[in-house]
Amino acid sequence: MANPLTEMTVLDIIKSVLPDGTTLKSKRWDTVCEWPPDLFAAVATITEWSGLYSEQTFMAYWAPDFVLTGQWVSEIIEAGKEWARVGTPPKAVQGMWKELIRQHRKARIDDHSARSLAWKRIVFRLLAIADEACAGIGFPPSVAPDPSAASRRTPSNQNRDNITSVQYIVYKDYIAWEEKRAENIGTAAMGGDVLPYLPHSLCIRVPPAVLCVQPKTSTPAVGCTLRSLTHHLALLPSIANVTTHWHIANKPDEDLCAFNVLVVPFPFSIPGKSFNSLAGSFPGIPNDCTFSLNPDIWMRGAEPQEFAEFLCGLIKAAEPELEPVHAIVLPETALRLEFANEVAEILAKKSGLDLFLTGVVAGANGDARNSAAIYRFTDGKLIHSSFQSKHHRWCLNGDQIRRYHLGHVLDPHYKWWEQIDVSYRHCYVTLFRPRATLSVLVCEDLARYDPVLTVMNAIGPNLVVALLMDGPQLEHRWPGRYATVLADDPGSAVLTVTSLGMVARSTMPGEPQNREIALWKEPDGRARALRLPRGDHALLLTLTSQLVEQFTLDGRGDGSATVQFRLGAAHGIGHNEPPKWLGSVP
């Protein structure tokens, strides 16, 4: 029996990505898409499925048929700029598409013969042009584009590409989406005035149930993949696999200043009774049972107002060192969801923060979720809350149970799985500085490639914060290894954060106390374990940033528009008057 995949043709893939045709006028595919992300979705899928990017004609400069000359790159960039500026596909793009459909529509994607290079060169060229047409897409321009001007430099970055109609249309549509969301608080609003699938996809003609296209912030410097071929667009799975959300949080004209983060490794102690064994076991695997976590145990009766005042006290204690503090980060499962929501409302009014990130526990028993809560503040108001559920359950085996001294509450002869709901997977990418994005992972999601790391690798967020419930954050342990992977490809800076309570539980009585509550890994740099000084309650980290130039595999530079974060400083911060409910800090 024939394999349907090997019989797939170029036109078959185009129809699967664009089931209703390339234009609104008719259900036909002989005219090129007018919107660059739609064309990108089609040709990127052909590129991915066929693996054409690895052909010597594109990758081997010593090959006699190598096509990626300096002139080729210049032509691609110029065609992309023309499309972005004018808003309609250049004649060259229209001609290439017609040639692809008329002459190569029946070409099989598994064809590796010399004759296949004709259609592969067209697809490769269209991919690069669509990517160039979307320079700056998903980011706020500093000023509106002037239709009469061929170019316009932004005040905040003289090296950034010109503001284009494509970039501005997307930004304006995000504003329309935000207004729609604000009018329907608590509902999953989708689409602006032009783009029907915001914030999940930039496409117009490609259904998000098929695939999604999102903006992109980092281009891998290693490897030979589709991800290495684009600066501005990322091809992502369908929303049924993992639903991505691209959120614009910063304001136009912001400077690329340092980002000050207060890492609070709360809870500072975790009683064994916080872990609850639950009745029952997995069918067919009687030694696999489940457990739950109860944050109420380590909260010791503290109220949201008291906890928010404690965090504000840490911000106050940091003032002699620097101002302002832009973000507070708490580890995995630090708070209950309802508790965190109240704390966020108070912080919005009193703290001056931009972001509050914390692990939260929501629900109970089989409906419980272990999530990362991302709260965004502007001008003393909470403007948006995002909740990204953990995608993989924690499994405590015998070795871990003994390491954390939990054998009195969880039988080490069993495997204990975290009883949480992992359905309906989401991933949030937040623009929090000019040209810079932030994503959050929850513990096991840092170490499991599918599905969220597929999105991370494609988009390449500039900063990834991993909220953990783990032991000391040392370079040789698993968080350090996986942070290094993300720092290498796609080139993200990674901050892992755990609670002092779990670090303390990983030490034998009488042994020197570990205090490595965080780990920092930046591109082209060593992983650095960050210790909490004894007597302190938080680490104050200053993340500096610089603009670097990245290149795609076909030789296109981004004009030094990529942000990379570095660890500029780290200071221990102690609360001047620790509240009594906090208890003693190890």
How much is the average pLDDT of 467-488?
Answer: 94
Q: State pLDDT tens for residues 88-123.
A: 999 999 999 999 999 999 999 999 999 999 999 999
How much is the average pLDDT of 59-65?
Answer: 87
Residue 253 lies in a domain: no
Contacts of 370 (CB under 8 A, 6+ apart): 293, 332, 333, 359, 360, 361, 389, 390, 394, 418, 420, 442, 443
Q: State pLDDT tens for residues 169-226.
A: 999 999 898 888 878 766 778 998 999 999 999 999 999 999 999 999 999 988 889 9
CATH code assigned at 311: 3.60.110.10
Q: 224 with 282, same domain?
A: no
Q: What's the domain count of the chain?
A: 2
Give me the half-sphere count of Cα atoms (radius 13 Å) on the Cβ side of residue 299.
20
**Separation between Cα atoms, residue 365 and residue 421, nearest integer Å:** 9
Residue 232 lies in a domain: yes
**Separation between Cα atoms, residue 249 and residue 260, nearest integer Å:** 16
State the average pLDDT for the chain. 90
Residue found by looking up tokens 């259900």 in the block: 27
Q: 192 with 315, same domain?
A: no
Q: 346 with 433, same domain?
A: yes
Residue 466 lies in a domain: yes
Q: 380 with 474, same domain?
A: yes
User: 62-67 long-range CB contacts below 8 Å, 24 or more apart?
Assistant: 65/117, 67/121
Q: State pLDDT tens for residues 212-254.
A: 999 999 999 888 899 999 999 999 999 999 999 999 865 554 6
Give the DSSP letter of residue 139: S
* Structure tokens belonging to residue 240: 């049924």
Residue 254 lies in a domain: no
ω into 199 cis (within 30 of 0): yes
Q: 412 with 524, same domain?
A: yes
CA 281 to chain centre: 35
Q: 217 with 297, same domain?
A: no
Task: Select, from the ranges 215-224, 320-329, 362-371, 442-451, the one with the highest average predicted confidence (pLDDT).
Answer: 320-329
Give the DSSP letter of residue 532: P
Q: 348 with 201, same domain?
A: no
Q: Are 219 and 233 in contact (CB under 8 A)?
A: no
Q: 276 with 213, same domain?
A: no
How much is the average pLDDT of 396-402?
Answer: 94
Residue 248 lies in a domain: no
Which of 209, 240, 271 is where one domain is finished? Answer: 240
Q: Are 81 and 162 in contact (CB under 8 A)?
A: yes
Q: 310 with 169, same domain?
A: no
Q: Are 327 and 261 in contact (CB under 8 A)?
A: yes
Structural domain of residue 215, as residue ranges? 4-240
The model's pTM is 0.92
ω into 267 cis (within 30 of 0): yes
